[in-house]
Structures are given as structure tokens and as C-alpha cells.
Structure 1
């Protein structure tokens, strides 16, 4: 008997976050009822907490899940790759163990992928710190979904959020048909997920944006890496390697990152006093990577160097500029559905 390929694999790499994983599964499990076309896969990176018992409890309650536990911690990038390699679905969704897939999202997603064929699906998100329901935010323009056939427009809409694993679903079946590097080539970049996203942008046909913010992304959990190294040296390397022949796409993502993402991230780091992302290293590295781009000096550098109150005002001014450019560069961005 030939096994039917799942339509979608939701793969959750996890390490030592049984409490957060339990919340995610409690919201996700009822959405998977009566959906045998969806494969749920959990890759436990040798968690020392109660993760195995947690998964067993959900299995006993009827959740169908493939659970794999590594014998030792192989690192986050390698765990991501192991999820990608183990996934059997046409579509592959790598999802963070501390984020939430809101109720109704799975049915909404299936309504699209059963009727159309997409290279990339971008599920927009909102940030939360304590209560994902109390802090819920929808799309301010009331948009529902956009279907996009232009790669440049996809790059402008998703931009640096290509790096956010919980917001990106890829067509693995399509990826198998186009040239791309083996993801293991990019281990220890902290951005290995781009190895299966950017080739689909390079060979783009059609993508979907789900605008109603169906993903709640937990804030304040990032740390343990240098923001300058990962989003300077390594991001630049990944973009150039995976988008060869399309410097225009590289520029779109890079320019947004300098104009909007770095100032926002640096403002948050400075305001919170969070030292986990090693901001003190960032200025030297970012200048070496982006110093020939005027956007670094206009938008990012002042937020690093100015006194905090002035840096915050500078950041806010940059947000207004970025929003204005968004309206100019993305026609019909305000439409509810396209």
C-alpha cells in the first residue's frame, strides 16, 4: 500500500521549554482534529525538563504526533535541519516552540492550500509577552489575504521576516524541483531556515500572505547570539549565496533591514537593557557589512550612537519614512483581498 503524502508538516523543534510547548500544543491540538492530511512532528533537542512526559500526555489525549528525541543537544540549526529532513508533507512549516498558532488558523490555511499552489506562505504575526489573547492585535487595515506573483513585491512585503521561522510556510515539493543548496551547508549561521525559503523566492511563481496576524510571537526570548554577527555578516552571506543573480532582491531585503528592522531592534535592546544580543559588538560589525549603504548611516547608526531619548525619536522618524515608502512601493497594499 502506497502511503499518501501529507499536505502539510508542522515541525516543532524544541529544547527545555515544556511550559511554552504545552501552551502551543493546547491551542494547536483541537485545530488538528479531523485533519489527517496534516503531519505534526516534534524534534526534542535532548531537553532536560519534562518535555517527553508532556508529549506523552498529549498523545494519550489523542493528539497524533511523531516525536523524535535526540540523544544529545545538536544545536538549534542542526535541529531545524533535522525537522526539514524528516518532514514528509508537501508544505513544510517550521514553528517555534514558544509561539502560538491562533484558533482558526489551520482551517483558514487549508482553505487556501487545497485550492491553490503557493511557493511561500507568509503568516503575519503580533508580539506578546504575557497573555497572547489579551495582547492580540489584528491587521490595522483589516486585510485578509493577498496572492502575489511578483518576487520583488514578495521581498518587500516579507523582507526580514523571512528569518522568522513561525511565520513562513514553504512548498517543499516545489523546492525539490529547483536548484538549491543542502541546508546542512548553512549550519551555524543561525539563519539556516533561509536555505529553504530564499531559493523559492529566487524561482518564484506565486505566494500567499495571510494578513490577519494568525501567529502570536513571544517577545523577549531571544538571546545568546550577536545581533551584529547574525544579521550583519551571516545575513549578508545567506542573501548573496541563496539569491545569486538577483541583486535586486538582496537590496530590497537589505535596505528594509537597515531602514526599519535594525533601528527597531536596537531601540528595543537599548530601552530594555537586554545585553544578551551583544549590542556592544554590533556597531563595528554592522559598519563593516553595511557602511557603503547610506541607509546604515541615516537610519541605523544614529539609533546606536545618539543618547537614548534622541535615538528613540530618530527611530520613530524612521518608522514614518518607512511607512511612506511602503505605501509608494507596494500598490494596492491596503486592499482587503487580492
Structure 2
């Protein structure tokens, strides 16, 4: 397999954009529409660098296969689609997207997430500059329309990191967000089976790349809009609590500080908002033992006692005020907290 540094315009494809999907035809339609529009906006030479791969996890809605066929017809020779004969579960479907890529890089995008205008060319230009192990692309969450961007964006451009520790301080829990990660292909098969029941199978390649890689980059401008409040049905605390701690400690056992940074970021940046939404009754996740699960996973970390325990114990109105305080606290102290 060629590396990115050996590729040039008019050479072999560089990047596979892979979408795992199941019974979400409306979201998938928008996701594919934006990808196709981005490819159309590239130069003729750049278009040959991109492939599209969709893995339909035996959708039963009768519509998803039609949406896939429509876009496959528009992108003949570029678009590959597979349909699993049975539903293999989300982890195996995501892993199939990664493992099927024959290009040097893979970008798995959730079927409900949206690639923002003008950014595919930016991603390709960074990949063509030289070997990158993980490229993190900045993103924001939306509820109704991806065009409703947050009011301000403080960071712009691209940042390079020569150490996993520095890169992880910037990304921490976002290393679990597949749509925000463009990664080298062909990594981590020895962890794949173990992680296919964890809801975090992406860490089977992300963490080895973090452990073994030397070149990391972020694009600070918004590249992806992520659909919020659109997933659920599993225990978020178990997945991003005990599962995450176990997996990071195991794969990064020789880099304990980096493992802790991911865990710290999960406590500081991820769980406070979830706890508040769960207590308001607006979460779709099944976490009836939320308090016990968070304490089991993070109880020996001082951040738990500042960022999580008060939100669990305080009466809801006070917890709401405390959540606002935490947002200001994070904004003021940033990376120092992880």
C-alpha cells in the first residue's frame, strides 16, 4: 500500500469516506448528498483521490437501499456499497467500514453527520503534505439544521503535534468520535474482536495509532456538523465509563499519562452535559445506575468530585446553575483540566 507521501495528484486514491448505516434513510440521504457535493467541488485531479464506501447493516426500512443505489449510480466507479445479510451490530459494521478500505486513509462518517461545505479539499490538502497518523477535524453539534452554526469560533487553521501527549490534551474524549477522525488504515486487528461488543470498536485502531504514531494534526475550523440527541438505547455510562477506562488502560498501558488524559477529558468535557440532560429526562440512553457507574469508573479521580458528583447530588435547579459554572470554568482553564 502506498503512503500519502508517495501519492500525488493523478495517482491512486488516497482517502476512503466510509459510512456505516442502519434504518436512517433520511439522515443518510443528507450525509451522502453533502459528500457527493464536496467531491463535485474538487478539481478533476483531486476527485480521483476519494472513494466512498457504505455498509448497510441489513436495514429493514425498505428505503435505505434505495437511497444508497441512487447515490451509487451518481458516483459510478467511486462508490462501493455492501449490504450485510443480517444485522451484525454497530461495532462490527463500523469495523467493516475501516477494514474494507484499501486506501492509505479512512474517514468514517456517521450516517447522521454532515460534511460542511468546502472542507473535503482542505482535508485532502493536509493528507497530501506528508504522512499523518491521525487527523482530527473540528466539529459542532446541531439539533435541527446543520446550517445553524454556533455564534463564534475561536480557533482557525491547522495545528501539528509531534507527541501523542500534546495531541491527546487537545482531543481527549473526541478520539472516540468517528466522524471527527481521519486515520491511517490497516491498524489494530489484534484488538478488533475484543472490542466488537464495547460500543468503542474505533479505539482498536485509534489507540494503536496514538501509541505508535509520530505525526498528528488538527483542523481547527469546523469541518463536520454532528447530529445531536440522535442516538441511544445503550448504557452511555458503561460505555464511556468502565469500558473506556478498561480499554485505554489496556491498549495504552505503556502510556498511562495519555490514557489518563482521555479519561480526564471524558469526565471534564463529556459527562457533565450528559448528566444534566439525563436528570431532565431528555436523554435517550439507558443509564438507570448512572451514579454507581460513574463512581465505579472515575471515583478515584479528583475531577469526578468536582465535575460529576455535584451534578448527580444537587437538586435539579441548583445542578443547572452548577452546570453553567462548569462551562465557564472549562472555558477559563481549558487544557489544564485534562
Using structure 1 for the length normalisation, give the TM-score.
Answer: 0.90
Q: Tell me what 2:101 maps to.
A: 87
CA-to-aligned-CA distance 1:221-268 (integer Å, 9 cap, x gap): 120111221111111111012212111011111122212311122123
Change beyond 3 A, Cα 1:306–1:276: same
2:134 aligned with 1:120, yes or no? yes
Partners of 1:139 and 1:65 in 2: how far apart?
Answer: 35
Change beyond 3 A, Cα 1:52–1:122: same
Listed as ranges, the gaps of 5+ residues in structure 1 are 331-338
Using structure 2 for the length normalisation, give the TM-score.
Answer: 0.90
Q: Tell me what 1:324 maps to.
A: 332
Q: CA deviation at 1:275?
A: 4.7
CA-to-aligned-CA distance 1:275-321 (integer Å, 9 cap, x gap): 53123211111111211112111210111121112112222222233
Partners of 1:264 and 1:167 in 2: how far apart?
Answer: 19
SS of corresponding position for 1:208: strand
Change beyond 3 A, Cα 1:279–1:304: farther
Match of 1:274 among 257, 282, 286: 282
RMSD: 2.0
Partners of 1:72 and 1:181 in 2: how far apart?
Answer: 24
SS of corresponding position for 2:231: coil
2:25 aligned with 1:18, yes or no? yes
Match of 1:253 among 262, 275, 278: 262
Partners of 1:119 and 1:291 in 2: how far apart?
Answer: 33
Listed as ranges, the gaps of 5+ residues in structure 2 are 3-10
2:140 aligned with 1:131, yes or no? no
Segments of 4+ moved more than 3 angstroms: 327-330
Between the two proteins, the alignment pairs up a number of residues equal to 322
Q: CA deviation at 1:181?
A: 2.7
CA-to-aligned-CA distance 1:133-185 (integer Å, 9 cap, x gap): 1x123762141211111211111111101111100111126x4xxx7733222
